Amino acid sequence: MPQPVQSSHLRHAGPPELRLRLLATSDVHGTILPFDYSSGCSGGGFGLARTASLIATARAEAPGACLLFDNGDFLQGTPLSDLHHLEGPSAPHPVIAAMNRLGYDAATLGNHEFNFGLDALSTALSQARFPVICANAITRRGTTPAQDETLFPPSLLIDRQVTGRNGTRQSLRIGVLGLLPPQITAWDKFHLGDRIGARDMVETAAARVPMLRAQGADIVVLLAHTGLGSGPRRPGMENAALALASLPGIDAIIAGHSHEVFPRPAGSAGATPPTDHAADHAAGTFCGVPAVMAGFRGSHLGVIDLDLSRDAAGRWQVCGHSACARPVQPGGGAPPAPADPDLSATVRDSHAATLARMQTPLGHLGYPLHSYLSRIRSDAVVRLVAEAQRQAVANALSGGPLAHLPVVSATAPFNTGGRAGPTAYTDIPPGPLTLRNAADLQPFPNTLCALHVTGAELRDWLERAVSCFLPIRPGLPDQALWNPIFPGHACDTIAGLTYQIDLTRPPLYDAKGTALPPPGQNAPPSPRGRIRDLMHCGRPVAAQDRFVLAVNNYRAFGGGPYPALPEERMVYRSRKPVRDVLADFFRSGGHETLDPAPAWGFLPVPGASAIVETGPGLLDHPEDIAALNLTHLGLTREGFLKLRMPLFTAACESAG
């Protein structure tokens, strides 16, 4: 347990009289049990049932002075949560039932709470026995944030009697404010339309925190569903935790959204603070404010202890603190925290119903499908989803005014390791296909849309996709290939087109889709951009050519580094999830006739090789290792398989 440290953002504090403990979960994403619905296997260091054991221990350490919060993104993420609606309107929501069991004091909304629409959200939260707050999802915009009408209460006040160090009972009023990324209005515009808007998080907090103080809050806690971010404060920031911490009047921040862990223990990966020490892992602070980020899928429990004393005017203030993120999987060969049996029993019936539903047969697969190489080759696991989307849109537009336009389809790989770890990959053997496989290939509840686009816009779309790769210099071995600030699901493949990627050229966009400046004067005089030989049906794609692009609704409204095109460009929209579109594709046998030719490949880079990382499960597919001429370099500390990939030949163009 970290030792308390003096809180640097406060002054004139006396000796501590009270201690208040704040416990936090974040980005649970429907993961209640330590069970992987994609593989059908139990175990693993995750799940709210395991976190529940840590919660019980932490509460026992601080009886009578402990609050439990959730930071959002709890309703979406696994078949247990995402297919719950199929059980019928009267069935208890398993995630809400689990949270009720744990006795949360409050929760805020994350962006994924809106993935199923406002009616589904309202139905789920009507079962909650804990308050849900959010200050910047609004139904009517006022002159100032203080005058906004909000979808849910913006904040709450919690009054507690706390036993002081001298044994006396003291009254404490805790103000809690909820915030989420304002991008919800773009990411889920299909579901939300004009029913709600969103305010900037920092602007909202600047107005609302003084209101909580005026209502008598001794301590103010932010439940801010936002990550650390970088760069100066700007309007509408998605990751605004540091900007929020710079506001006066905030005593603790519970952050999330980016699935990061904060603070990390000294010596662990990612524990080095920025040069300005705004996010200080050793102190457990953002800009001097005590803070935690509890990972995701119940991987950690955030714990903040606030030591309180009275100032000269008799007001409570923080005089010291400690902050840590307790892992469910402690490492070093130690077993994970046990799953709480009562919480597991709470969702037993829903879990059994989900398992039965996942066994729904869809057909037969004659070849293996995996995502271990989806970041570095044109992979069948991606092209299957893209082709299912393409055919569904083509059928929907058949006979209409746009039927003469070619339909292409964009999608990204979803299970590619990253923060989810070295086992978070799709790996489907030949044999029966079930709904479990469709849910594995399409884990998000996105629906199918289509956009009317030009050839120039398709090229730009692909430039955004391939900006995830770092520049490769000819003649140098073992260069990093993937830019780690890009998630795997940022890199779209467009099925129906073929193209090559020139890794020697600099990327045009950053991970947020912001255009990067052109290279300096010493750069070689060649065209900007990495996409070469962009073709459709063997014919070069011209800037003025017209296409229909099948995409999911998240992409259609500007999700990831991609642009939100004008709404009049949307020529098709459906409320049918892409997962169900893929299931229909399997039932029809479309996967059996998938074109084996790759959509894209890397142009050779003379004398160069790259280092890539993937799941060790790739070792069970030696034919794919051989096809790309990969060299096994061992495992990383995190358990990923490290490989050398030659880039000086066209071997990397082999099909997935």
Each residue's pLDDT tens digit, 328-347? 999 877 899 999 999 999 99
Q: What is the pLDDT of residue 523?
A: 54
On whether residue 642 sits in a domain, the answer given is: no
Domain check: are 293 and 343 in the same one? yes
Q: What is the pLDDT of residue 651?
A: 47
pLDDT, tens digit, 9 for 90 and up, residues 576-592: 999 999 999 999 999 99
Last residue of a domain, one of 597, 617, 645: 597
Last residue of a domain, one of 578, 597, 616: 597
CATH of the domain at 592: 3.90.780.10
Average pLDDT rounded to a whole number, residues 67-89: 91
Comparing 33-42, 102-111, 375-384, the range with the smallest average pLDDT is 33-42
Q: What is the pLDDT of residue 11?
A: 44
Average pLDDT rounded to a whole number, residues 38-53: 92
Q: What does pLDDT average to over the chain?
A: 92
The Cα–Cα gap between 382 and 363 comes to 18
**90 confidence band (pLDDT: 50, 70, 90):** confident
Q: Is the pLDDT of residue 521 over 60?
A: no
On whether residue 617 sits in a domain, the answer given is: no
Q: What is the pLDDT of residue 230?
A: 75
Q: Is the pLDDT of residue 4 over 70?
A: no
On whether residue 244 sits in a domain, the answer given is: yes
Domain check: are 427 and 565 in the same one? yes
On whether residue 435 sits in a domain, the answer given is: yes
Domain check: are 348 and 238 in the same one? yes
Domain check: are 447 and 333 in the same one? no
**Do residues 42 and 35 touch, judged by C-beta distance below 8 A?**
yes
Q: Which of 389, 443, 377, 395 is nearest to 597 (CA)?
A: 377
Q: What is the pLDDT of residue 13?
A: 55
**10 confidence band (pLDDT: 50, 70, 90):** very low
Average pLDDT rounded to a whole number, residues 184-206: 93
State how many domains the chain has: 2
Beta strands 252-255 and 219-224 are parallel
Q: Is the pLDDT of residue 87 over 90?
A: no
**Do residues 633 and 644 touch, judged by C-beta distance below 8 A?**
yes
Q: What is the pLDDT of residue 652?
A: 47
H or E stretch including 138?
strand 137-140
Angle between helices 348-358 and 94-102 (to 10 degrees): 160
Domain check: are 340 and 264 in the same one? yes
Identify the three-state secondary structure at position 18: strand
On whether residue 640 sits in a domain, the answer given is: no
Compute CA distances 486 → 238, 295, 375, whole Å: 15, 18, 11
Residue 80, phi then psi, degrees to nearest 5: -60, -40
Classify residue 560 as left (phi > 0), alpha (psi -120 to 50) or beta.
left
CATH of the domain at 335: 3.60.21.10
Q: What percentage of the chain reaches a pLDDT higher than 70?
A: 94
Q: Is the pLDDT of residue 162 over 50?
A: yes
Domain check: are 294 and 418 in the same one? no
Domain check: are 298 and 433 in the same one? no
DSSP E strands in 419-525: the ranges are: 427-428, 431-434, 447-454, 479-480, 493-495, 498-501
**527 confidence band (pLDDT: 50, 70, 90):** low
pLDDT, tens digit, 9 for 90 and up, residues 600-624: 999 999 999 999 999 999 999 999 9
On whether residue 656 sits in a domain, the answer given is: no
Domain check: are 552 and 442 in the same one? yes
Residues forming a β-bridge with 133: 108
Domain limits for position 543 = 360-468+488-519+526-597
Domain check: are 346 and 464 in the same one? no
Average pLDDT rounded to a whole number, residues 511-533: 79
Domain check: are 232 and 347 in the same one? yes
pLDDT, tens digit, 9 for 90 and up, residues 473-488: 999 999 999 999 999 9
Q: What is the pLDDT of residue 14?
A: 64
Q: Between 525 and 36, whose confidence is greater?
A: 36
Compute CA distances 104 → 25, 82, 277, whole Å: 10, 22, 32
Q: Which two tokens stand for residue 319?
A: 């005089």
Q: Is the pLDDT of residue 520 over 70?
A: no
Domain check: are 424 and 283 in the same one? no
Q: Is 275 exposed, middle or buried (0-12, 13-18, 19+ CB in 10 A)?
A: exposed
Average pLDDT rounded to a whole number, residues 43-49: 92
On whether residue 462 sits in a domain, the answer given is: yes
pLDDT, tens digit, 9 for 90 and up, residues 535-558: 999 999 999 999 999 999 999 999
Q: Is the full-model pTM beyond 0.85?
A: yes
Q: Is 544 exposed, middle or buried (0-12, 13-18, 19+ CB in 10 A)?
A: exposed
Domain check: are 176 and 121 in the same one? yes
Q: Between 313 and 60, whose confidence is greater?
A: 60
**Do residues 525 and 505 touch, judged by C-beta distance below 8 A?**
no
On whether residue 25 sits in a domain, the answer given is: yes
Q: Where are the alpha helices (DSSP H) in 21-154?
A: 48-61, 79-82, 94-102, 118-125
Last residue of a domain, one of 576, 597, 618: 597
Q: What is the pLDDT of residue 133?
A: 98
Q: What is the pLDDT of residue 38?
A: 85
pLDDT, tens digit, 9 for 90 and up, residues 441-476: 999 889 999 999 999 999 999 999 999 999 999 999
Comparing 116-130, 161-175, 304-318, 519-533, the range with the smallest average pLDDT is 519-533
Residues forming a β-bridge with 309: 317
What does the chain come to in residues?
Answer: 656
Q: What is the pLDDT of residue 363?
A: 95
